[in-house]
A and B are shown apart, each in its own frame.
Chain A
């Protein structure tokens, strides 16, 4: 699992497999969805659906088991507020700080004093995927998670060696309070933004974001590492992007999307960010090295400040 719950509203497949076969399987998809109270739908021409979204752009949809009245359903869909301008982060963020230990949230109290040799990374949970936390821990960090609404001072009170702005849902332009927090911590410590975190940092340095026609989704998105010239295959799932021109002179471009040349990464002083998901899960591990890079960077900065 990548979080404490599941955050989708419905799950659509062409053909459901009632008899999956894998040694790691514990329960069927159907049982899982039922347990979480989410609807699953099969027998849909998913390719036709994809084409429609590609041609007309992302749109709101509705699945109903109660009504067959199209007009009534349309009305409901139209009444749904959509993503633009809404703060969805608050709904998925944790509500109080906690410690991540041994690959899971820990009931232990966050120690007042951090360990001497272990860098402490504070993660702003805007809907964080657990694999980000796992990878930080694997890279020998002490991992503290705080809610998305934590203030700069609260975060800094943990004496972080680095702050990670996590991924999260929805419109990044609807989150000015997080942008402000980011601004406060960016001047004080190393910051790593992932996905929504990248969009927050983009705004924090004076740029702005826009909605893509149908977003980047999938585990086969090629990005180019502009430092090494290498192509890396990444996992992506976002509907909004940082407008490249809006940050052009404000930060170094570190990654670009090879399909549509959108902004995939920035570097500015002790701050780095990527639009894609280096933690993958699911997806290729091509960019997992970023976590090591971030931790090494933190360690270097630590030496400098001493």
Chain B
């Protein structure tokens, strides 16, 4: 039961609210239709809603209640025209309960667990809201939360615009919301706009769905290992996939294999130990995460009941039963002899050939052949907005295992284009752009275009982009079925990115006619070993390592005879940064004509060697005048839209026509275009969604999109690209400069320019000295280790607007980076190490200036509460958990042991036994040392003390030479951590590594 209380005045409201914590629901007692009720996320909203609630209530009473987490979540897509006609396009039910952003939720259309009664109340509310908000024309969505046991309904949110959900609803129903919204905006009314699909009916009706649609978001947590895979009300997914089937079970299974995460059905690897399994399941079910669907499956398989899983996840039992049905069927299949009846039933339930093969110990191919023989093949049904009530003219299909096939293969010449599946990092809308242009080109050539894709966010899955649309998983099984039904004259695999390329060999083996550059040639270029051979054969260069080189990309088009370099892009970032993350310029800014000629020559050689028919992208690096080949991709690449837009030539269209057999000569594109303007591409990153992530770029792509700036000069084009990417281009303020010695010469002009533009310059002592010797005035700012106020203080106070900081290479930039929440990371380590016998725990942390410590008796989890961890600020930390073998169990013996000697702090954490500790101790005491504890570790500090002026490492080394035993230890000072171990020492146990923090580079061996 949620926490709640009744209040009759504002002071009672505040008192109850304080006890519950935000977000809070306020409900007015005895009102109709939820007047005076609402959700407050902060004090201000609470005051406002509670006041109106008290006013609205007939007995001046409001109920203050805990948030709606765990309620069922629904969404309605609504349209209104200027004549006040309002229609509902689609109802969507979230698989995940309230608390997970709807963009992060698995969603289902139409709503599955509402009766007409609730649905109509929701519909009335949505319409009333449209009128109240005053959405004059266009689409909106309204989100509702419904209490699973009482049916109480709350409006959660309303977006008076088309949204991500509208795109999904459009694809789910066949009702093109944005298109109709545009017509409504120019004054049409819903009853004047014909429905493209039926032609007979008007846009003023409400679509009916006779199938089930499932959307699953696509996450890329693997690209951000620092981020916890945990879903909240903030969106972290980068794409989504949608699947259509006749039943939820079928659609869900299709959606799973559409995700392209290597899964073809349920099944989650679980630990063998039942206890481990239980605790893993519990944690994975409680906290929503990208794989929760699969953990739910694992939990049900592991014997948890639907009710158990519901209690933990709040995923409606209806969905859980559906999953259980699939898993039960899976069990039955596993247990039974394969039979055609079972095979048919399994296919109707959405099982993939791959899954069935795994269950029956057969290959995917064997299952497919068997089905072919038994004629267990899918049929294609239409998405027609009207559940077959009217004839549909738009050929928008999905597959299912039913009795009637509605597909109408034509006798025209036709080509199928295989799309890219869900957006993810590395494969975004650039590839969809290419597929869409391919479709347009086919139309221009009078060839029927057939699109196959599973991504609802794209133009390729608009029903009017291609002559035929198959909204299907892009897997070999599903694609082959379409090809066998439609029998296209050619299939294009080189435009949709890796997704279709991964299918190319399988399609070829099945006799599918692939047009353009052959899959074998693509393999040759993209397989490291095979490519090496080409490099040797053509006498090209490949670099040994690719750091600190300038990178260029060339995009070319070839018809097999003629090859034209469409554009050469110069990267702004040096090699080592993924090309997708790098900004680039077209035409190149600094390359000499001879280099450009060389690029053109080698590019043409490669095109000829690979017999490229279509597009090819090559990455080159240049160092000391030598050209190196980094990578060759003889297919559409991320750069196609950028180059096409920079040079004003639709390259993907031309490439499609080339694949159809036209020559570049015929198409009139035979020479490189040298645009008079400059185009700059800049990558856009999702770092604001992943605050834990190191923003340093590297070979792993992290950007999720890109922008382009065009102008007459590089500077303006670059500035535009930065503005487009959301960076504020500074025109005044302070610039902090701190560069590596090797870069000091090159920074002079940069600093001078900033000075001329009126910027104030701050710098570290070294850099400031260099600048002042060149007549540039710079204010000296302390490094973190030089005392306060230091650079971080300046940045935090907003005194610095821009930082120019260089280091050499990637390694040192990472090492220069300390973990900003060191105490917490240390705590995790301690937590992992604690055990029952433990008596105390401690952490010492340094922020470079101040050193903080916290120690306490008891288990690590008891000693370090959140409030404590928040106070332990700093970027260096050591910690210790103690269970005593020597010394008594008192707080004074808790480690790390922190002492203050002169200007410095020394904290020591130590493990093991020093066998001569007693004798050393007596000796030291006889020399006047006063011990604070009975620990061995303190001995080490006393031994070090006299030698500290010779440097910390030396002092430690001298001290350790006097001790005997088996031990390992860590020592922390204001700006350093040192680790040491005994000469026969064991390796330190690594519990984990946080990528962005420095690793121990030096272990003192004594």
Contacts and interface: CB of A to CB of B under 8 A. Distances in A.
B200 interface: yes
Nearest to A288: B124
A64 B212 CA distance: 29
Nearest to A21: B318
A51 B404 CA distance: 10
Interface string A249-261: 0000000001110
A21 to B, nearest CB: 4
Interface in B365-421: 381, 387-391, 402-404, 406
A51 B120 contact: no
B42 interface: no
A218 B85 contact: no
A280 interface: yes
A207 to B, nearest CB: 25
A219 B117 CA distance: 13
B206 A233 contact: yes
B131 to A, nearest CB: 12
A24 interface: yes
B87 A19 contact: no
Interface stretch (B144-152, B603-611, B844-852): B144-152
A280 B83 CA distance: 23
Interface in A9-23: 14-15, 17, 19-23
B210 interface: yes
A27 to B, nearest CB: 13
A208 to B, nearest CB: 25
A48 B404 contact: yes
Contacts of B357: none
A269 interface: no
A45 interface: yes
A46 B247 CA distance: 12
Given A14-B247, A21-B316, A230-B84, A50 B387 contact: yes
A224 interface: yes
Contacts of B114: 22
Contacts of A204: none
Interface residues of A, number: 35
Contacts of A22: 113-115, 118
B191 interface: yes
B201 interface: yes
B204 interface: yes
Contact of B204 (A19, A222, A281): A222
Nearest to A46: B210
B318 A17 contact: yes
B360 interface: no
B318 A50 contact: no
A222 B202 contact: yes
A282 B381 CA distance: 27
Among A20, A23, A229, A285, the most chain B Cβ lie within 10 Å of the Cβ of: A23
B191 A224 contact: yes
B150 A23 contact: yes
A224 B85 CA distance: 10
Given A17-B318, A51-B388, A285-B120, A220 B83 contact: no
Interface in B105-144: 113-118, 120, 123-124
B263 to A, nearest CB: 24
Contacts of A260: 200
Contacts of A229: 83
A258 B201 contact: yes
Interface in A213-232: 218-222, 224, 229-231
Contacts of B207: 220
Given A22-B113, A54-B388, A282-B116, A48 B205 contact: no
B541 interface: no
A54 B406 CA distance: 14
Given A22-B115, A229-B83, A259-B201, A50 B210 contact: yes
A50 B149 CA distance: 36
B388 A284 contact: no
A47 interface: yes
A77 B453 CA distance: 45
A97 interface: no
B190 interface: yes
B317 interface: yes
Given A22-B114, A48-B403, A233-B206, 9 more contacts: A19-B321, A20-B318, A47-B387, A47-B404, A231-B83, A231-B85, A231-B87, A258-B191, A283-B116
The 9 closest A-B pairs by CB, nearest first: A282-B116, A48-B404, A21-B318, A19-B321, A220-B206, A231-B85, A50-B388, A45-B403, A231-B204
9 contacts: A17-B318, A24-B151, A50-B210, A51-B404, A219-B206, A220-B207, A259-B201, A281-B116, A283-B116
